[in-house]
Structure 1
Protein backbone atom coordinates (compact mmCIF):
# COMPACT_ATOMS: atom_id res chain seq x y z
CA UNK A 1 0.00 0.00 0.00
CA UNK A 2 1.28 3.46 -0.89
CA UNK A 3 0.70 6.13 1.75
CA UNK A 4 2.13 9.14 -0.16
CA UNK A 5 3.75 10.68 2.91
CA UNK A 6 5.20 14.17 2.80
CA UNK A 7 7.00 16.09 5.52
CA UNK A 8 9.84 15.74 8.01
CA UNK A 9 10.66 12.58 9.99
CA UNK A 10 12.55 12.46 13.30
CA UNK A 11 13.71 8.99 14.35
CA UNK A 12 15.59 7.97 17.48
CA UNK A 13 17.50 4.71 17.52
CA UNK A 14 17.92 5.20 13.77
CA UNK A 15 21.33 3.56 13.51
CA UNK A 16 20.04 -0.01 13.39
CA UNK A 17 17.05 -2.30 13.77
CA UNK A 18 13.50 -0.96 13.80
CA UNK A 19 14.54 2.69 13.62
CA UNK A 20 16.70 2.05 10.59
CA UNK A 21 14.04 0.11 8.70
CA UNK A 22 11.33 2.58 9.66
CA UNK A 23 13.42 5.25 7.92
CA UNK A 24 13.65 3.07 4.80
CA UNK A 25 9.90 2.48 4.81
CA UNK A 26 9.10 6.17 5.24
CA UNK A 27 11.44 7.03 2.37
CA UNK A 28 9.69 4.53 0.12
CA UNK A 29 6.39 6.18 1.05
CA UNK A 30 7.61 9.62 0.01
CA UNK A 31 9.34 11.23 3.00
CA UNK A 32 12.42 13.14 1.87
CA UNK A 33 13.58 14.97 5.03
CA UNK A 34 15.02 12.97 7.93
CA UNK A 35 16.57 13.70 11.29
CA UNK A 36 18.33 10.46 12.24
CA UNK A 37 19.38 10.19 15.87
CA UNK A 38 21.31 7.55 17.76
CA UNK A 39 24.09 7.18 20.31
CA UNK A 40 25.95 5.28 17.59
CA UNK A 41 26.61 6.21 13.97
CA UNK A 42 23.65 6.61 11.62
CA UNK A 43 25.84 6.93 8.51
CA UNK A 44 24.83 3.50 7.16
CA UNK A 45 21.15 4.37 7.48
CA UNK A 46 21.76 7.69 5.73
CA UNK A 47 23.67 5.98 2.91
CA UNK A 48 20.90 3.44 2.33
CA UNK A 49 18.29 6.21 2.32
CA UNK A 50 20.21 7.90 -0.49
CA UNK A 51 19.94 4.67 -2.51
CA UNK A 52 16.18 4.55 -1.99
CA UNK A 53 15.70 8.24 -2.76
CA UNK A 54 18.70 10.18 -4.12
CA UNK A 55 16.97 13.49 -3.33
CA UNK A 56 16.62 12.72 0.38
CA UNK A 57 18.01 15.22 2.89
CA UNK A 58 19.42 13.86 6.16
CA UNK A 59 20.42 15.47 9.43
CA UNK A 60 22.65 13.08 11.40
CA UNK A 61 22.77 13.66 15.15
CA UNK A 62 24.27 11.82 18.09
CA UNK A 63 21.69 11.67 20.88
CA UNK A 64 21.33 10.29 24.38
CA UNK A 65 17.56 10.37 24.88
CA UNK A 66 18.03 10.42 28.66
CA UNK A 67 19.54 13.93 28.39
CA UNK A 68 16.89 16.66 28.51
CA UNK A 69 19.14 19.31 27.00
CA UNK A 70 20.30 17.02 24.20
CA UNK A 71 16.72 16.05 23.30
CA UNK A 72 15.52 19.66 23.20
CA UNK A 73 18.52 20.69 21.14
CA UNK A 74 17.96 17.88 18.64
CA UNK A 75 14.39 19.00 17.97
CA UNK A 76 15.57 22.59 17.65
CA UNK A 77 18.20 21.53 15.12
CA UNK A 78 15.65 19.51 13.16
CA UNK A 79 13.30 22.47 12.89
CA UNK A 80 16.15 24.84 12.07
CA UNK A 81 17.15 22.65 9.11
CA UNK A 82 13.76 21.54 7.82
CA UNK A 83 11.28 24.11 9.15
CA UNK A 84 8.96 21.68 10.93
CA UNK A 85 8.59 18.17 12.36
CA UNK A 86 5.79 15.94 11.06
CA UNK A 87 6.57 12.31 11.91
CA UNK A 88 8.34 11.30 15.11
CA UNK A 89 9.38 7.77 15.99
CA UNK A 90 10.59 7.48 19.58
CA UNK A 91 12.35 4.19 19.21
CA UNK A 92 15.63 4.34 21.13
CA UNK A 93 15.70 1.81 23.93
CA UNK A 94 17.72 -0.77 25.85
CA UNK A 95 16.84 -4.27 26.95
CA UNK A 96 18.48 -4.42 30.33
CA UNK A 97 19.43 -7.59 32.16
CA UNK A 98 17.23 -10.68 32.11
CA UNK A 99 16.59 -10.64 35.85
CA UNK A 100 13.62 -10.86 38.16
CA UNK A 101 12.93 -8.14 40.73
CA UNK A 102 14.84 -9.84 43.53
CA UNK A 103 17.96 -9.92 41.36
CA UNK A 104 18.00 -6.42 39.81
CA UNK A 105 20.16 -3.69 41.35
CA UNK A 106 18.29 -0.41 41.71
CA UNK A 107 20.70 1.44 39.41
CA UNK A 108 20.16 -1.11 36.61
CA UNK A 109 16.38 -0.88 36.94
CA UNK A 110 16.42 2.91 36.87
CA UNK A 111 18.77 3.01 33.87
CA UNK A 112 16.31 1.01 31.78
CA UNK A 113 13.45 3.32 32.76
CA UNK A 114 15.55 6.44 32.15
CA UNK A 115 16.07 5.44 28.51
CA UNK A 116 12.93 3.51 27.65
CA UNK A 117 10.36 5.61 29.50
CA UNK A 118 11.77 8.98 30.55
CA UNK A 119 13.66 9.21 27.26
CA UNK A 120 10.45 8.68 25.30
CA UNK A 121 8.70 11.28 27.45
CA UNK A 122 11.47 13.84 26.93
CA UNK A 123 11.37 13.33 23.17
CA UNK A 124 7.59 13.40 23.01
CA UNK A 125 7.41 16.57 25.09
CA UNK A 126 9.83 18.39 22.78
CA UNK A 127 8.01 17.11 19.70
CA UNK A 128 4.59 18.13 21.00
CA UNK A 129 5.82 21.62 21.82
CA UNK A 130 7.03 22.01 18.24
CA UNK A 131 3.95 20.45 16.63
CA UNK A 132 1.67 22.81 18.53
CA UNK A 133 3.33 25.73 16.69
CA UNK A 134 2.77 24.42 13.16
CA UNK A 135 -0.18 23.99 10.79
CA UNK A 136 -1.42 20.74 9.29
CA UNK A 137 0.20 19.56 6.09
CA UNK A 138 -3.24 19.39 4.45
CA UNK A 139 -6.59 21.01 5.13
CA UNK A 140 -8.36 17.75 5.87
CA UNK A 141 -9.85 16.11 8.99
CA UNK A 142 -7.54 13.17 8.26
CA UNK A 143 -4.44 15.36 8.48
CA UNK A 144 -2.68 16.33 11.71
CA UNK A 145 -0.24 18.96 12.88
CA UNK A 146 2.08 16.08 13.65
CA UNK A 147 2.16 12.34 14.26
CA UNK A 148 4.11 10.57 17.01
CA UNK A 149 4.76 6.83 17.29
CA UNK A 150 6.33 5.41 20.43
CA UNK A 151 7.99 2.01 20.23
CA UNK A 152 6.63 -0.09 23.07
CA UNK A 153 6.60 -3.89 22.90
CA UNK A 154 4.30 -6.87 23.19
CA UNK A 155 5.81 -6.95 26.69
CA UNK A 156 4.08 -3.64 27.28
CA UNK A 157 0.83 -5.59 27.08
CA UNK A 158 1.65 -8.86 28.80
CA UNK A 159 4.25 -10.08 31.24
CA UNK A 160 7.48 -11.56 29.92
CA UNK A 161 7.92 -15.29 29.48
CA UNK A 162 9.37 -17.24 32.41
CA UNK A 163 12.57 -17.92 30.47
CA UNK A 164 12.86 -14.23 29.47
CA UNK A 165 12.56 -12.48 32.87
CA UNK A 166 12.97 -8.95 31.52
CA UNK A 167 11.30 -7.25 34.47
CA UNK A 168 12.74 -3.76 34.00
CA UNK A 169 12.12 -3.84 30.24
CA UNK A 170 8.51 -4.93 30.61
CA UNK A 171 7.90 -2.28 33.25
CA UNK A 172 9.33 0.44 31.01
CA UNK A 173 7.25 -0.63 28.01
CA UNK A 174 4.01 -0.78 30.01
CA UNK A 175 4.80 2.80 31.01
CA UNK A 176 5.31 3.82 27.37
CA UNK A 177 1.80 2.63 26.57
CA UNK A 178 0.41 4.61 29.51
CA UNK A 179 2.29 7.71 28.39
CA UNK A 180 1.03 7.26 24.83
CA UNK A 181 -2.59 7.01 25.95
CA UNK A 182 -2.42 9.94 28.34
CA UNK A 183 -0.86 12.32 25.80
CA UNK A 184 -3.03 11.02 22.96
CA UNK A 185 -6.13 12.08 24.89
CA UNK A 186 -4.65 15.45 25.79
CA UNK A 187 -3.40 16.42 22.34
CA UNK A 188 -5.77 14.82 19.83
CA UNK A 189 -8.15 17.82 20.18
CA UNK A 190 -5.15 20.04 19.38
CA UNK A 191 -4.34 18.20 16.17
CA UNK A 192 -1.57 15.83 17.22
CA UNK A 193 -1.88 12.07 16.64
CA UNK A 194 -0.02 9.81 19.08
CA UNK A 195 0.08 6.01 18.96
CA UNK A 196 2.26 3.16 20.19
CA UNK A 197 3.79 0.28 18.28
CA UNK A 198 4.09 -3.07 20.08
CA UNK A 199 6.37 -5.41 18.16
CA UNK A 200 6.90 -9.01 19.08
CA UNK A 201 10.18 -10.78 18.45
CA UNK A 202 12.00 -9.18 15.53
CA UNK A 203 14.82 -10.72 13.51
CA UNK A 204 17.44 -8.08 14.26
CA UNK A 205 21.11 -9.01 13.78
CA UNK A 206 21.55 -9.25 17.56
CA UNK A 207 18.61 -11.62 17.96
CA UNK A 208 19.58 -13.75 14.98
CA UNK A 209 23.10 -14.18 16.33
CA UNK A 210 21.59 -16.00 19.33
CA UNK A 211 19.11 -18.15 17.37
CA UNK A 212 20.85 -21.49 17.83
CA UNK A 213 18.64 -24.57 18.02
CA UNK A 214 17.64 -25.02 21.65
CA UNK A 215 18.53 -21.45 22.59
CA UNK A 216 16.17 -19.23 24.58
CA UNK A 217 15.24 -17.27 21.47
CA UNK A 218 14.64 -20.43 19.46
CA UNK A 219 12.33 -21.65 22.23
CA UNK A 220 10.48 -18.32 22.07
CA UNK A 221 10.19 -18.51 18.28
CA UNK A 222 8.37 -21.84 18.56
CA UNK A 223 5.70 -20.10 20.68
CA UNK A 224 4.85 -17.64 17.89
CA UNK A 225 1.79 -18.92 15.98
CA UNK A 226 3.28 -18.02 12.59
CA UNK A 227 6.43 -19.92 13.61
CA UNK A 228 8.86 -17.14 12.70
CA UNK A 229 10.16 -13.80 13.88
CA UNK A 230 9.11 -10.53 12.27
CA UNK A 231 11.38 -9.05 9.65
CA UNK A 232 12.60 -5.54 10.32
CA UNK A 233 10.85 -4.43 7.10
CA UNK A 234 7.49 -5.60 8.48
CA UNK A 235 7.83 -3.50 11.61
CA UNK A 236 9.14 -0.53 9.63
CA UNK A 237 6.02 -0.66 7.47
CA UNK A 238 3.86 -0.57 10.59
CA UNK A 239 5.50 2.75 11.46
CA UNK A 240 4.63 4.15 8.03
CA UNK A 241 1.03 3.01 8.48
CA UNK A 242 0.72 4.69 11.87
CA UNK A 243 2.10 7.94 10.44
CA UNK A 244 -0.15 7.85 7.40
CA UNK A 245 -3.71 9.03 6.86
CA UNK A 246 -4.69 5.36 6.61
CA UNK A 247 -4.55 5.37 10.44
CA UNK A 248 -6.13 8.81 10.84
CA UNK A 249 -8.82 7.58 13.26
CA UNK A 250 -6.37 5.71 15.48
CA UNK A 251 -5.65 7.73 18.61
CA UNK A 252 -3.72 6.30 21.57
CA UNK A 253 -3.76 2.86 19.98
CA UNK A 254 -1.26 0.11 20.71
CA UNK A 255 -0.66 -1.54 17.36
CA UNK A 256 0.49 -5.09 18.04
CA UNK A 257 2.68 -6.80 15.42
CA UNK A 258 3.73 -10.05 17.07
CA UNK A 259 2.73 -12.95 14.81
CA UNK A 260 -0.10 -13.80 17.23
CA UNK A 261 2.05 -14.23 20.34
CA UNK A 262 -0.16 -12.15 22.65
CA UNK A 263 -3.48 -13.78 21.70
CA UNK A 264 -2.57 -17.24 22.94
Structure 2
Protein backbone atom coordinates (compact mmCIF):
# COMPACT_ATOMS: atom_id res chain seq x y z
CA UNK A 1 0.00 0.00 0.00
CA UNK A 2 1.26 3.46 -0.88
CA UNK A 3 0.75 6.18 1.72
CA UNK A 4 2.19 9.20 -0.15
CA UNK A 5 3.85 10.70 2.92
CA UNK A 6 5.18 14.24 2.79
CA UNK A 7 7.05 16.09 5.46
CA UNK A 8 9.94 15.66 7.89
CA UNK A 9 10.83 12.50 9.83
CA UNK A 10 12.74 12.39 13.13
CA UNK A 11 13.98 8.90 14.09
CA UNK A 12 15.95 7.85 17.17
CA UNK A 13 17.96 4.64 17.07
CA UNK A 14 18.25 5.17 13.30
CA UNK A 15 21.67 3.58 12.89
CA UNK A 16 20.51 -0.03 12.82
CA UNK A 17 17.62 -2.43 13.33
CA UNK A 18 14.03 -1.21 13.40
CA UNK A 19 14.98 2.47 13.28
CA UNK A 20 17.04 1.92 10.16
CA UNK A 21 14.28 0.01 8.38
CA UNK A 22 11.66 2.52 9.47
CA UNK A 23 13.70 5.18 7.65
CA UNK A 24 13.78 3.00 4.53
CA UNK A 25 10.03 2.46 4.67
CA UNK A 26 9.23 6.13 5.19
CA UNK A 27 11.46 6.99 2.24
CA UNK A 28 9.65 4.45 0.06
CA UNK A 29 6.39 6.17 0.99
CA UNK A 30 7.65 9.59 -0.06
CA UNK A 31 9.47 11.21 2.88
CA UNK A 32 12.52 13.11 1.65
CA UNK A 33 13.64 15.01 4.77
CA UNK A 34 15.13 13.06 7.68
CA UNK A 35 16.73 13.75 11.03
CA UNK A 36 18.52 10.50 11.87
CA UNK A 37 19.62 10.21 15.47
CA UNK A 38 21.70 7.60 17.28
CA UNK A 39 24.54 7.29 19.78
CA UNK A 40 26.35 5.30 17.10
CA UNK A 41 27.06 6.32 13.50
CA UNK A 42 24.11 6.26 11.08
CA UNK A 43 26.46 5.82 8.13
CA UNK A 44 24.82 2.71 6.66
CA UNK A 45 21.32 4.17 6.89
CA UNK A 46 22.42 7.40 5.25
CA UNK A 47 24.33 5.60 2.50
CA UNK A 48 21.37 3.40 1.61
CA UNK A 49 18.91 6.28 1.56
CA UNK A 50 21.15 8.46 -0.61
CA UNK A 51 21.81 5.60 -3.02
CA UNK A 52 18.11 4.91 -3.56
CA UNK A 53 16.68 8.43 -3.29
CA UNK A 54 18.85 11.07 -4.97
CA UNK A 55 18.19 14.53 -3.63
CA UNK A 56 17.11 13.31 -0.21
CA UNK A 57 17.95 15.65 2.70
CA UNK A 58 19.41 14.11 5.86
CA UNK A 59 20.48 15.67 9.14
CA UNK A 60 22.73 13.31 11.13
CA UNK A 61 22.68 13.91 14.88
CA UNK A 62 24.61 12.03 17.54
CA UNK A 63 22.19 11.73 20.44
CA UNK A 64 22.13 10.40 23.97
CA UNK A 65 18.36 10.09 24.40
CA UNK A 66 18.71 10.07 28.18
CA UNK A 67 20.05 13.66 28.15
CA UNK A 68 17.34 16.33 28.42
CA UNK A 69 19.63 18.99 26.98
CA UNK A 70 20.69 16.80 24.06
CA UNK A 71 17.11 15.83 23.23
CA UNK A 72 15.87 19.41 23.26
CA UNK A 73 18.83 20.51 21.17
CA UNK A 74 18.22 17.74 18.62
CA UNK A 75 14.67 18.96 18.05
CA UNK A 76 15.92 22.52 17.74
CA UNK A 77 18.52 21.42 15.17
CA UNK A 78 15.92 19.49 13.19
CA UNK A 79 13.51 22.42 13.05
CA UNK A 80 16.33 24.80 12.13
CA UNK A 81 17.25 22.49 9.24
CA UNK A 82 13.77 21.56 7.98
CA UNK A 83 11.29 23.96 9.57
CA UNK A 84 9.12 21.34 11.29
CA UNK A 85 8.74 17.71 12.46
CA UNK A 86 5.88 15.70 10.99
CA UNK A 87 6.76 12.09 11.81
CA UNK A 88 8.58 11.33 15.04
CA UNK A 89 9.64 7.75 15.77
CA UNK A 90 10.95 7.30 19.31
CA UNK A 91 12.65 3.98 18.86
CA UNK A 92 15.98 3.97 20.74
CA UNK A 93 16.08 1.48 23.58
CA UNK A 94 18.03 -1.22 25.40
CA UNK A 95 17.24 -4.72 26.61
CA UNK A 96 18.98 -4.78 29.94
CA UNK A 97 19.90 -7.91 31.85
CA UNK A 98 17.67 -10.98 32.03
CA UNK A 99 16.86 -11.14 35.73
CA UNK A 100 13.90 -11.31 38.06
CA UNK A 101 13.41 -8.57 40.62
CA UNK A 102 15.30 -10.34 43.40
CA UNK A 103 18.45 -10.41 41.26
CA UNK A 104 18.39 -6.90 39.72
CA UNK A 105 20.58 -4.10 41.04
CA UNK A 106 18.94 -0.69 41.41
CA UNK A 107 21.41 0.88 38.99
CA UNK A 108 20.61 -1.70 36.29
CA UNK A 109 16.86 -1.24 36.75
CA UNK A 110 17.08 2.54 36.61
CA UNK A 111 19.35 2.46 33.55
CA UNK A 112 16.77 0.51 31.55
CA UNK A 113 13.95 2.83 32.60
CA UNK A 114 16.10 5.88 31.86
CA UNK A 115 16.69 4.85 28.24
CA UNK A 116 13.43 3.03 27.48
CA UNK A 117 10.92 5.22 29.31
CA UNK A 118 12.24 8.55 30.53
CA UNK A 119 14.05 9.14 27.24
CA UNK A 120 10.87 8.47 25.26
CA UNK A 121 9.08 11.00 27.46
CA UNK A 122 11.87 13.55 26.92
CA UNK A 123 11.70 13.10 23.15
CA UNK A 124 7.92 13.15 23.06
CA UNK A 125 7.75 16.29 25.21
CA UNK A 126 10.13 18.15 22.90
CA UNK A 127 8.27 16.92 19.81
CA UNK A 128 4.86 17.88 21.18
CA UNK A 129 6.09 21.37 22.04
CA UNK A 130 7.25 21.80 18.44
CA UNK A 131 4.18 20.25 16.84
CA UNK A 132 1.88 22.57 18.78
CA UNK A 133 3.60 25.49 17.02
CA UNK A 134 3.08 24.19 13.48
CA UNK A 135 0.05 23.84 11.23
CA UNK A 136 -1.20 20.68 9.55
CA UNK A 137 0.29 19.76 6.19
CA UNK A 138 -3.19 19.69 4.61
CA UNK A 139 -6.72 20.75 5.54
CA UNK A 140 -7.96 17.17 5.51
CA UNK A 141 -9.70 15.80 8.63
CA UNK A 142 -7.22 12.94 8.38
CA UNK A 143 -4.20 15.22 8.65
CA UNK A 144 -2.46 16.19 11.91
CA UNK A 145 0.03 18.79 13.04
CA UNK A 146 2.34 15.89 13.72
CA UNK A 147 2.42 12.17 14.34
CA UNK A 148 4.42 10.38 17.04
CA UNK A 149 5.11 6.65 17.21
CA UNK A 150 6.78 5.12 20.24
CA UNK A 151 8.45 1.72 20.17
CA UNK A 152 7.04 -0.35 23.01
CA UNK A 153 7.04 -4.15 22.77
CA UNK A 154 4.74 -7.13 22.99
CA UNK A 155 6.12 -7.16 26.54
CA UNK A 156 4.44 -3.80 26.95
CA UNK A 157 1.04 -5.54 26.90
CA UNK A 158 1.84 -8.94 28.46
CA UNK A 159 4.32 -10.35 30.93
CA UNK A 160 7.48 -12.08 29.71
CA UNK A 161 8.01 -15.81 29.28
CA UNK A 162 9.36 -17.66 32.30
CA UNK A 163 12.65 -18.33 30.54
CA UNK A 164 12.99 -14.65 29.53
CA UNK A 165 12.92 -12.85 32.91
CA UNK A 166 13.25 -9.33 31.48
CA UNK A 167 11.67 -7.57 34.43
CA UNK A 168 13.18 -4.13 33.91
CA UNK A 169 12.55 -4.21 30.16
CA UNK A 170 8.92 -5.29 30.59
CA UNK A 171 8.33 -2.59 33.20
CA UNK A 172 9.81 0.06 30.91
CA UNK A 173 7.72 -0.98 27.92
CA UNK A 174 4.48 -1.08 29.90
CA UNK A 175 5.34 2.48 30.93
CA UNK A 176 5.78 3.49 27.28
CA UNK A 177 2.29 2.20 26.55
CA UNK A 178 0.92 4.23 29.48
CA UNK A 179 2.77 7.34 28.35
CA UNK A 180 1.48 6.91 24.80
CA UNK A 181 -2.12 6.56 25.93
CA UNK A 182 -1.95 9.46 28.36
CA UNK A 183 -0.48 11.95 25.90
CA UNK A 184 -2.63 10.64 23.04
CA UNK A 185 -5.72 11.65 25.00
CA UNK A 186 -4.25 15.00 26.00
CA UNK A 187 -3.17 16.10 22.52
CA UNK A 188 -5.47 14.42 19.98
CA UNK A 189 -7.84 17.38 20.12
CA UNK A 190 -4.89 19.70 19.55
CA UNK A 191 -3.94 18.00 16.30
CA UNK A 192 -1.23 15.54 17.38
CA UNK A 193 -1.56 11.80 16.76
CA UNK A 194 0.34 9.49 19.13
CA UNK A 195 0.49 5.70 18.95
CA UNK A 196 2.69 2.84 20.14
CA UNK A 197 4.16 0.00 18.11
CA UNK A 198 4.57 -3.29 20.00
CA UNK A 199 6.83 -5.65 18.05
CA UNK A 200 7.42 -9.23 19.00
CA UNK A 201 10.70 -10.95 18.26
CA UNK A 202 12.40 -9.27 15.31
CA UNK A 203 15.34 -10.58 13.30
CA UNK A 204 17.70 -7.75 14.16
CA UNK A 205 21.46 -8.34 13.93
CA UNK A 206 21.65 -8.54 17.74
CA UNK A 207 18.92 -11.17 17.99
CA UNK A 208 20.28 -13.23 15.11
CA UNK A 209 23.75 -13.25 16.63
CA UNK A 210 22.32 -14.79 19.81
CA UNK A 211 20.47 -17.60 18.08
CA UNK A 212 21.83 -21.11 17.93
CA UNK A 213 20.47 -24.58 18.54
CA UNK A 214 19.24 -24.77 22.10
CA UNK A 215 19.49 -21.02 22.77
CA UNK A 216 16.77 -19.10 24.60
CA UNK A 217 15.90 -17.14 21.47
CA UNK A 218 15.66 -20.31 19.40
CA UNK A 219 13.26 -21.73 21.99
CA UNK A 220 11.23 -18.49 21.89
CA UNK A 221 11.02 -18.58 18.09
CA UNK A 222 9.35 -21.99 18.30
CA UNK A 223 6.59 -20.45 20.43
CA UNK A 224 5.63 -17.98 17.70
CA UNK A 225 2.59 -19.36 15.83
CA UNK A 226 3.98 -18.33 12.43
CA UNK A 227 7.22 -20.15 13.33
CA UNK A 228 9.57 -17.31 12.48
CA UNK A 229 10.87 -13.96 13.64
CA UNK A 230 9.63 -10.73 12.08
CA UNK A 231 11.74 -9.26 9.31
CA UNK A 232 12.89 -5.72 10.05
CA UNK A 233 11.13 -4.33 6.98
CA UNK A 234 7.81 -5.74 8.22
CA UNK A 235 8.10 -3.63 11.35
CA UNK A 236 9.41 -0.63 9.41
CA UNK A 237 6.33 -0.73 7.19
CA UNK A 238 4.11 -0.53 10.27
CA UNK A 239 5.87 2.65 11.33
CA UNK A 240 4.97 4.18 7.97
CA UNK A 241 1.39 2.98 8.36
CA UNK A 242 1.03 4.54 11.82
CA UNK A 243 2.36 7.85 10.49
CA UNK A 244 0.08 7.81 7.46
CA UNK A 245 -3.49 8.97 6.95
CA UNK A 246 -4.45 5.29 6.67
CA UNK A 247 -4.23 5.21 10.49
CA UNK A 248 -5.84 8.62 11.01
CA UNK A 249 -8.48 7.32 13.42
CA UNK A 250 -5.98 5.41 15.56
CA UNK A 251 -5.29 7.39 18.73
CA UNK A 252 -3.30 5.92 21.61
CA UNK A 253 -3.31 2.52 19.94
CA UNK A 254 -0.91 -0.28 20.77
CA UNK A 255 -0.29 -1.96 17.43
CA UNK A 256 0.98 -5.45 18.24
CA UNK A 257 3.02 -7.24 15.58
CA UNK A 258 4.23 -10.49 17.12
CA UNK A 259 3.27 -13.34 14.80
CA UNK A 260 0.54 -14.34 17.21
CA UNK A 261 2.79 -14.77 20.26
CA UNK A 262 0.62 -12.86 22.73
CA UNK A 263 -2.74 -14.43 21.81
CA UNK A 264 -1.80 -17.92 22.95
Identify the TM-score tier after normalising by the shorter chain. Answer: over 0.9
Q: Secondary structure at 1:255's aligned position in 2?
A: strand
Q: Secondary structure at 1:135's aligned position in 2?
A: coil
Structure 2 Cα separation of the partners of residues 260 and 50 of structure 1:
36
- In the TM superposition, structure 1's runs of 4+ consecutive aligned residues that sit over 3 Å from their partners are none
Q: Which residue of 2 aligns with 1:29?
A: 29
On the 8 A contact 1:18/1:232 being kept in 2, the answer is yes
Structure 1 Cα separation of the partners of residues 95 and 22 of structure 2:
19
Measured after TM superposition, the shift of residue 211 of structure 1 is: 1.4
Structure 2: runs of 5+ lacking an equivalent = none
Measured after TM superposition, the shift of residue 206 of structure 1 is: 1.0
Q: Which residue of 2 aligns with 1:69?
A: 69
Structure 2 Cα separation of the partners of residues 248 and 25 of structure 1:
18
Deviation larger for 203-212 or 95-104: 203-212
On the 8 A contact 1:28/1:52 being kept in 2, the answer is no
Q: Secondary structure at 1:225's aligned position in 2?
A: coil
On the 8 A contact 1:27/1:52 being kept in 2, the answer is no
> TM-score normalized by structure 1?
0.99
Matched, 1:112 2:107: no
Q: Which residue of 2 aligns with 1:196?
A: 196
Measured after TM superposition, the shift of residue 193 of structure 1 is: 0.1
Q: Secondary structure at 2:37's aligned position in 1?
A: strand
Structure 2 Cα separation of the partners of residues 114 and 48 of structure 1:
31
Q: Which residue of 2 aligns with 1:159?
A: 159
Structure 2 Cα separation of the partners of residues 126 and 146 of structure 1:
12
Structure 1: runs of 5+ lacking an equivalent = none
Structure 1 Cα separation of the partners of residues 249 and 25 of structure 2:
21
Matched, 1:252 2:258: no
Measured after TM superposition, the shift of residue 54 of structure 1 is: 1.1
- Tell me the alpha carbon deviations over residues 27-79 of structure 1, each in whole angstroms, 9 at most, x when there is no partner: 00000000000000011101111122111100000001110000000000000
What CA RMSD, in Å, does the superposition of the two structures yield over aligned residues?
0.4
Structure 2 Cα separation of the partners of residues 65 and 74 of structure 1:
10
Q: Which residue of 1 aligns with 2:79?
A: 79
On the 8 A contact 1:3/1:246 being kept in 2, the answer is yes
Q: Which residue of 1 aligns with 2:10?
A: 10
Measured after TM superposition, the shift of residue 210 of structure 1 is: 1.5
Structure 2 Cα separation of the partners of residues 144 and 28 of structure 1:
21
On the 8 A contact 1:199/1:257 being kept in 2, the answer is yes
Matched, 1:123 2:126: no
- Tell me the alpha carbon deviations over residues 175-196 of structure 1, each in whole angstroms, 9 at most, x when there is no partner: 0000000000000000000000
Measured after TM superposition, the shift of residue 213 of structure 1 is: 1.4
Count of residue correspondences: 264
Structure 1 Cα separation of the partners of residues 24 and 151 of structure 2:
16
